[in-house]
Chain A
Amino acid sequence: MTLEVFVQQLINAISLGSLYALLALGLAMVYGVLKVLNFAHGDLVAVTGYIMWLLWMKGGVSFPVAVVAGILGATLVSILTELIAFRPLRKASYAVLLISSFAVSVIIQNLVRLLIDPRPQGMKIPAVFDRVMIIGSFHIGFLALFTLATCLSAMGLLLYFLMRTRWGMALRAAAADFEVARLVGVPANSVISLAFAVAGLLAGIGGALWVIRSGGIAPTMGLYAIITAFVSNIIGGLGSLVGAVVGGLVYGFLDIYLRALLPAEIRAFVQAFILIAVVIILAIRPQGLMLKRREVSK
Chain B
Amino acid sequence: MRPGWSRRRLAVAARSWLSTSVLLVLVAATASILANKSITNVVTSFLIYTSLVVGYQMFMGNSGIVSFGHVAFFGIGAYCAALLNIPPETKELALPALPTFLQQTQTGALPAIVIAAALSALVALVIGFAPSRMQAETMGIATFAVLVIVYTVIHNWEEVTRGGLGIYDIPPVMTPVYALLGLVIITGVALAYKASPYGLRIQGARDDPLAVESLGVHLVPERLFCFVVSAAVMGAGGAMWAHNARAFGPASFYFRDTFNIIAMMIVGGSASVTGAIVGSAVVTVVSELMRFAENGIVIGMIEVPQIHGAVQLSVALLILATLFLRPTGIMGTGELILPFSQWARDFKKWIRR
List residues of chain B with CB within 8 A of the CB of A219. Answer: 309
List residues of chain B with CB within 8 A of the CB of A275. Answer: 145, 148-149, 152
Per the CB 8 Å criterion, the residue count for chain A at the interface is 49
**Stretch from A12-20, A109-117, A165-173 forming part of the interface with B:** A109-117
B41 within 8 A of partner (CB): no
**Stretch from A50-58, A95-103, A181-189 forming part of the interface with B:** A95-103
**Stretch from B74-82, B235-243, B317-325, B330-338 forming part of the interface with A:** B317-325
B117 within 8 A of partner (CB): no
Most buried by A among B152, B209, B210: B152
B312 touches A106 (CB 8 A): yes
Report how far A107 CA is from B262 CA in the complex, Å.
Answer: 15
**Stretch from B15-23, B134-142, B341-349 forming part of the interface with A:** B134-142
B156 within 8 A of partner (CB): yes
Partner of B210, one of A96, A234, A280, A296: A296
List residues of chain A with CB within 8 A of the CB of B153. Answer: 269, 272
**Stretch from A71-79, A84-92, A254-262 forming part of the interface with B:** A84-92
B141 touches A230 (CB 8 A): yes
List residues of chain A with CB within 8 A of the CB of B259. Answer: 102, 106
A109 touches B130 (CB 8 A): no
**Stretch from A129-137, A154-162, A282-290 forming part of the interface with B:** A282-290
List residues of chain B with CB within 8 A of the CB of A89. Answer: 323-324, 327
List residues of chain A with CB within 8 A of the CB of B65. Answer: 95
**A260 to nearest B CB, angstroms?**
18
B319 touches A100 (CB 8 A): yes
**B302 to nearest A CB, angstroms?**
19
B9 within 8 A of partner (CB): no
B145 touches A283 (CB 8 A): no
A286 touches B141 (CB 8 A): no
**A163 to nearest B CB, angstroms?**
27
List residues of chain B with CB within 8 A of the CB of A98. Answer: 66, 140
Report how far A233 CA is from B209 CA in the complex, Å.
Answer: 23
Report how far A280 CA is from B145 CA in the complex, Å.
Answer: 12
Report how far A117 CA is from B98 CA in the complex, Å.
Answer: 40
Most buried by A among B137, B157, B263, B307: B137
With A238-B135, A272-B148 already in contact, the answer to whether A100 and B323 are too (CB < 8 A) is yes
List residues of chain B with CB within 8 A of the CB of A223. Answer: 255
Give per-residue flags for B251-262: 1 if the beta carbon is below 8 A from chain A beta carbons, else 0: 000010001001
B269 within 8 A of partner (CB): no
Which residue from chain B places its CB closest to the CB of A279 in the assembled complex?
B130
Which residue from chain A places its CB closest to the CB of B127 in the assembled complex?
A279
A271 touches B148 (CB 8 A): yes
**A21 to nearest B CB, angstroms?**
17
B134 touches A286 (CB 8 A): yes
**B29 to nearest A CB, angstroms?**
34
**B139 to nearest A CB, angstroms?**
9
With A99-B66, A279-B145, A298-B136 already in contact, the answer to whether A107 and B130 are too (CB < 8 A) is no
Report how far A110 CA is from B317 CA in the complex, Å.
Answer: 11
List residues of chain A with CB within 8 A of the CB of B219. Answer: 297
A114 touches B152 (CB 8 A): no
A283 touches B152 (CB 8 A): no
Report how far A16 CA is from B119 CA in the complex, Å.
Answer: 36
Report how far A99 CA is from B324 CA in the complex, Å.
Answer: 12
Report how far A294 CA is from B141 CA in the complex, Å.
Answer: 19
| Interface residues in B154-186 (C-beta closer than 8 Å to A) | 156-157
List 24 interface pairs A-B (beta carbons < 8 Å), by A numbering.
Answer: A37-B141, A92-B323, A96-B323, A98-B66, A99-B266, A103-B317, A103-B323, A104-B316, A107-B317, A113-B309, A114-B309, A114-B313, A227-B144, A234-B138, A238-B135, A238-B138, A271-B152, A272-B152, A275-B152, A280-B130, A283-B129, A286-B133, A287-B135, A298-B210
- List 5 tightest A-B contacts by C-beta distance, closest first: A110-B309, A283-B130, A286-B133, A268-B156, A113-B309
A contact set with B: CB distance below 8 Å:
37, 85, 88-89, 92, 94-96, 98-100, 102-104, 106-107, 109-111, 113-114, 118, 219-220, 223, 227, 230-231, 233-234, 238, 268-269, 271-272, 275-276, 278-280, 282-283, 286-288, 294, 296-298
A103-B316, A238-B138, A272-B149 given. 18 additional CB < 8 A pairs?
A89-B323, A92-B323, A99-B66, A99-B262, A99-B266, A102-B259, A103-B320, A106-B259, A114-B307, A118-B309, A227-B148, A234-B134, A271-B149, A272-B152, A279-B130, A282-B134, A288-B138, A296-B210
